[in-house]
Homo-oligomer: A and B are copies of this chain.
Amino acid sequence: MTLVVGGNPIEDVGTRHLANLLRNLRHEAVIALHSALNLITSNKFKKARKVFEHALNLDPSNSEILVEYGQFLEYHHNDLINAEHYYTRALVKQPTNLRALELKKRTLPLVEEIDQKYFYFIDNILKEFYRIPDTNPYLRRAKRNAYYLHIYHSNGIEGNTLNLRETQYIIETHLAIGGKSLIEQQEVLGLDLALQYVNCTLVNRLGLITLEDILEIHRRVLGFVNPIEAGQLRKQQVYVGSFIPPIYNDLPEYLDDFLKWLNSLDDTRDLHAIELATIAHYKFVYIHPFIDGNGRTGRLLMNLILMKFGYPPVIIKKSERFIYYSHLKQANDGDIRPLIRFIAKCTERTLTELIQQSQTTKITRQDLRLNDDYDNGRNFIEERVIIIE
């Protein structure tokens, strides 16, 4: 079945129907764009925004809409970062779009300045974090909690239904929770073992990050669930929603390029640690080297890099998984900076929480709720005040 739109032969009724549908959607998107522009001239900005978003839903690849929406965000919402993101997306779709080129040329340096200032802001929080002595018992407790939270959230993002309390129970007792699937409980043991490996073996080791390191992380992540595939590159094609990762024959070459980039000072010298860690994470899940466990391994790799640069491991919350996915998709569509900013925000939050928890002598429910993950608030709160080393 060949789908060619615009006068070329269309092979069957189903295809013709689909082509008509697409044409209609695109046409409707253009009408919506004009409607949005009219709303702006009538100063109806709130409604205009909704109509813009409707237009982009109808046709996400129309560079005209992307540019107009970017300008709208820049001038009427003062949102330079998102404006520049839409100019970039317009250029990905139509690299010769002169208006988009000009707009991007003007906004890019400003956005870069904002991003760098944010990194500088985070680095100051990091300095504050390092002023807390290692012997602070609240800091130790907070770090321990963060350990369980990483496992809970990283598994939760992949669909594991165990809550934080259950996750911690399994790690501490190695006893089973009746009626729950064994696989979910083995996933907890896997991340526990992999995190220990990252924390105790890899972080403090000098030298480059190797393929062997990545395979060893994965062997632990997936080993308890799938002893056959754990620590092995996949030997078949996988599909991640609409995204199709590289074919398995090419994996060694992709990974070789990836590790050369990751370990090369020339390529990565100018990147902030958060940028490097995020890009590495993205490149890794793009390659998707394994049959399963790529997300968890990729998040561990990201944290390994952050920790090697002196940052605490960051937690992406289960409740944020759809935002996280959408940023991964935006990276696929040509702009990785939304993902970098998202990880930066996670880093800021992780640092702030660790500092707050180290200063608190008595943690009240009210305080805790501020940092809560509403996906599973009850357990989060209770666990955090229960554990004292």
Q: Which residues of A contact B (CB under 8 A)?
A: 170, 174-183, 185-186, 189-190, 193, 219-220, 222-225, 227-228, 230-231
Contact = CB atoms under 8 A, between A and B. Distances in A.
Given A223-B228, A224-B186, A178 B179 contact: yes
A177 B178 contact: yes
A185 B225 CA distance: 12
A189 B226 CA distance: 10
Contacts of A225: 224
Interface centre among A175, A180, A183 (most CB of B within 10 A): A175
B181 A174 contact: yes
Given A177-B178, A182-B170, A220 B228 contact: yes
Contacts of A222: 227
B174 A176 contact: no
A282 to B, nearest CB: 27
Contacts of A181: 174-176
A179 B224 CA distance: 19
Contacts of A176: 176-182, 185
Nearest to A219: B227
A288 to B, nearest CB: 20
26 contacts: A170-B182, A174-B183, A175-B178, A175-B180, A176-B177, A176-B178, A176-B179, A176-B181, A176-B185, A177-B178, A178-B178, A178-B179, A182-B189, A186-B186, A186-B224, A193-B228, A219-B227, A219-B228, A220-B227, A220-B228, A222-B227, A223-B223, A223-B227, A224-B225, A224-B227, A227-B230
Nearest to A218: B227
A182 B174 contact: yes
Given A175-B179, A176-B177, A176-B181, 12 more contacts: A174-B181, A174-B183, A175-B178, A175-B180, A175-B182, A176-B179, A176-B180, A177-B178, A186-B186, A219-B227, A219-B228, A220-B227
A143 to B, nearest CB: 25
Q: Which are the 3 A-B pairs with shortest beta-carbon distances?
A: A223-B227, A178-B178, A176-B176
Nearest to A179: B175
Nearest to A190: B227
A189 B230 CA distance: 16
